């Protein structure tokens, strides 16, 4: 099972340790590539839902299963420190949306005004999952 990967676009490809080091050192983000990042306020303070490529390190330890290269983690709120891992970028995007949907179901009083997307030029994820 391959342990090290790099991203080519949105596709994770296995690499040698030497290629992995070169890829990490060539990036300003050091391989922690954001798939989704959403920040908003709830009654208890700020909540951050972050989904990233995990620096190209496979976190799957069962040899017979797909590599786990992406992770969603919640910081703050009712789901603080909850995490999920995924094998592909597309799975990570769907997982990120599912976590947001679960949070908004826990807090149905949220309104779009509470939500601050990282980039105001795109539709908010809140609007897409409403």
Domain boundaries, the chain: 5-129
For the sheet containing 83-86, what is the strand order? 83-86, 70-75, 45-53, 34-42, 115-116
Q: What pLDDT does 109 receive?
A: 58
pLDDT band at 77 (very low <50, low <70, confident <90, very high): confident
- Residues 81-102 have a mean pLDDT of 91
pLDDT band at 125 (very low <50, low <70, confident <90, very high): very low
The pLDDT of residue 73 is above 90: yes
List pLDDT tens digits, range 52-66.
998 888 888 876 788
Percent of the chain exceeding pLDDT 90 equals 40
**Residue 92: which of 75, 74, 72 has the closest Cα?**
72
Q: What pLDDT does 129 receive?
A: 35
DSSP 8-class letter at 113: G
CA-based R_g, the chain, Å: 16
Structure tokens at 60: 């799957």
CA angle centred on 75, ends 71 and 9, rounded to 5°: 30
List pLDDT tens digits, range 16-39.
999 999 988 888 877 678 999 998
């Amino acid at each position: 099972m391959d342990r090290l990967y790099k991203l080519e676009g949105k596709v994770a490809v296995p690499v040698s340790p030497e290629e992995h080091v070169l890829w990490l050192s060539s990036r300003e983000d050091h391989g922690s590539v954001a798939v989704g990042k959403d920040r908003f306020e709830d009654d208890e303070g700020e909540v951050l839902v972050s989904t990233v490529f995990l620096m190209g390190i496979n976190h799957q330890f069962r040899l017979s299963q797909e590599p786990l290269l992406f992770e969603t983690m919640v910081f703050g709120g009712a789901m603080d420190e909850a995490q999920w891992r995924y094998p592909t970028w597309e799975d990570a995007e769907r997982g990120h949306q599912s976590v947001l949907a679960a949070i908004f179901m826990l807090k149905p009083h949220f309104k779009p005004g509470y939500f601050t997307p990282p980039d105001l030029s795109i539709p908010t994820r809140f609007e897409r999952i409403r």
